[in-house]
């Protein structure tokens, strides 16, 4: 008979991962959790399109049924818009699910991953969980991924190269000529995973067509996009991979949860695609507010990094964590970059015009102290 507590039989790569520290909620910031401006998670600032709300309401009476395991309607709609066969698309519970799977699918002890840092933390966590060797390649001074350094870090054991454009938390995107070089020089033994969570913002700002450039890539690849940002559906968790060929998509399908995208999320994403004017309004207003925020941080002497995403990063006169606290005391939740050489940088999500006013007013107080 067993008695007493036992140690769960988890892999060392699990027990040695850093503790789970989810992003703070309003309740972490102030005791009653009310009145805080949420500018720390790169969410959309507006409620979703009324068409999205209607679609969810109309589908609510059917939630006793499992959702479509292939997201067929949504896949057909996205496929038509981007000119890619639906069989090359895989939807997930946010793009985070798919990118985690791709890391787990390519990596294991002895395999090697090339990742940008600082970047979306899940890349590093996913590669560590897989037990892989990791080349964490610092982003450039402007915050864009250092593609040449990343390619130089590739070894014969490399199985995945992760590129984020625009990069989170810094905001810069890769220009077309760099992407062309990446597509040309990627080793065929590794998967190229390009995270375009902020794709719609980058295109709005004149960014390159990554899918067109990848047509010449001989390595297997997957591009990740999401409904969490420009479509304002972060709470529903829908993202997808556009795969270089159907074999990559089929492999993801083998390992994902069968019903990974819930039925309300599927109808909502479809309805969001059906209201391009709503998305365009969010992108137009976002670009205006991003410029205002950037100008305001620059005027305050807090050098903003160039951003085409729905957030900006800027250098504060104090370490990131202290600056985050100072904004929180003024009712504004923002993010810390806090990683060399961006130890003093904060990341502020683009909000409404009122949010911008509030951030700039708080910034004025904080830098004056
Ligand atoms: C670069 C990047 N990739 C992926 C994600 C995850 O997005 P999703 O909501 O689709 O899981 C985020 C979210 O902030 C992100 O910044």
| CATH number for the domain that contains residue 317 | 3.90.1150.10
| CATH number for the domain that contains residue 210 | 3.40.640.10
pLDDT for position 126: 98
Q: Flag whether 285 is in a domain.
A: yes
Q: Flag whether 1 is in a domain.
A: no
pLDDT surpasses 80 at 270: yes
pLDDT for position 355: 97
Q: Flag whether 16 is in a domain.
A: no
pLDDT for position 2: 63
Last residue within a domain, chosen from 248, 273, 298:
273
Last residue within a domain, chosen from 273, 299, 320:
273
Last residue within a domain, chosen from 273, 308, 326:
273
Same domain membership, residue 187 and residue 281: no
Same domain membership, residue 73 and residue 213: yes
> Domain of 148?
50-273
pLDDT for position 29: 72
Ligand 1 within 6 A of 165 CB? no
Q: Flag whether 10 is in a domain.
A: no
Q: Flag whether 214 is in a domain.
A: yes
- Supply the pTM of this predicted model: 0.96
Q: Flag whether 157 is in a domain.
A: yes
Same domain membership, residue 210 and residue 64: yes
pLDDT for position 99: 98
Q: Flag whether 14 is in a domain.
A: no
Same domain membership, residue 251 and residue 183: yes
Q: Flag whether 7 is in a domain.
A: no
Q: Ligand 1: which atom is nearest the Cα of residue 96?
A: 11
Same domain membership, residue 291 and residue 222: no
Same domain membership, residue 268 and residue 220: yes
Q: What torsion, rounded to 10 degrees, do the Cα atoms 303, 123, 247, 254 define?
A: -140
Same domain membership, residue 325 and residue 224: no
Q: What torsion, rounded to 10 degrees, do the Cα atoms 146, 130, 17, 243 define?
A: 50
Same domain membership, residue 68 and residue 43: no
Same domain membership, residue 286 and residue 175: no
Considering the chain, what percentage of its residues have pLDDT values greater than 90?
Answer: 92
Same domain membership, residue 295 and residue 217: no
Distance 5 CA to ligand 1 centre (A): 37
Same domain membership, residue 194 and residue 63: yes
Distance 120 CA to ligand 1 centre (A): 7
Same domain membership, residue 41 and residue 111: no
Distance 100 CA to ligand 1 centre (A): 11
Using CA positions, which residue lies closest to atom 3 of ligand 1?
197
Question: How many separate domains does the chain show?
Answer: 2
Distance 127 CA to ligand 1 centre (A): 16
Ligand 1 within 6 A of 193 CB? no
Confidence band of 5 (pLDDT split at 50, 70, 90): confident
pLDDT tens figures, 45-67 = 999 999 999 999 999 999 999 99
pLDDT tens figures, 194-218 = 999 999 999 999 999 999 999 989 9
């Amino acid at each position: 008979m067993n008695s007493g507590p036992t140690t769960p039989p988890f892999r060392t790569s699990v027990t040695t991962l850093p503790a789970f520290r989810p992003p703070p909620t309003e309740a972490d910031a102030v005791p009653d959790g009310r009145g805080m401006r949420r500018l720390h998670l790169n969410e959309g600032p507006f409620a979703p399109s009324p068409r999205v709300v209607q679609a969810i309401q109309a589908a609510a009476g059917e939630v006793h049924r499992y959702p479509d395991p292939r997201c067929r309607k949504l896949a057909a709609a996205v496929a038509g818009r981007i000119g890619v066969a639906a069989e090359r698309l895989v939807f997930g519970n946010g793009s985070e699910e798919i990118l985690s799977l791709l890391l787990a699918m390519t990596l294991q002890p002895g395999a090697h991953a090339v990742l940008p840092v600082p970047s979306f933390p899940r890349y590093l966590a996913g590669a560590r969980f897989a037990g892989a060797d990791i080349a964490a390649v610092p982003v450039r001074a402007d915050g864009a991924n250092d593609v040449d350094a990343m390619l130089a870090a590739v070894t014969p054991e490399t199985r995945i190269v992760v590129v984020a454009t625009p990069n989170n938390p810094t905001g810069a995107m890769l220009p077309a000529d760099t992407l062309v070089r990446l597509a040309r020089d990627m080793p065929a033994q590794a998967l190229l995973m390009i995270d375009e969570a902020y794709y719609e913002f980058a295109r709005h700002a004149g960014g390159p067509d990554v899918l067109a450039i990848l047509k010449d890539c001989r390595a297997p690849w997957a591009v990740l996009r999401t409904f969490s940002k420009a479509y304002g559906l972060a709470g529903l968790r829908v993202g997808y991979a556009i795969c270089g060929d159907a074999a990559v998509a089929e492999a993801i399908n083998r390992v994902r949860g069968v019903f990974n995208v819930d039925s309300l999320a599927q109808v909502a994403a479809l309805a969001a695609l059906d209201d391009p004017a709503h998305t365009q309004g969010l992108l137009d207003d976002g670009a205006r507010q991003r410029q205002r925020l950037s100008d305001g941080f620059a005027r305050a002497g807090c050098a903003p990094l160039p951003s085409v995403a729905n957030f900006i990063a800027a250098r504060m006169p104090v370490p990131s964590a202290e600056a985050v606290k100072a904004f929180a005391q003024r009712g504004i939740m923002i993010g810390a970059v806090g990683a060399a050489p961006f130890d003093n940088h904060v990341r502020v999500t683009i909000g409404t015009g009122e949010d911008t006013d509030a951030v700039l007013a708080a910034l004025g107080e904080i830098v004056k102290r």
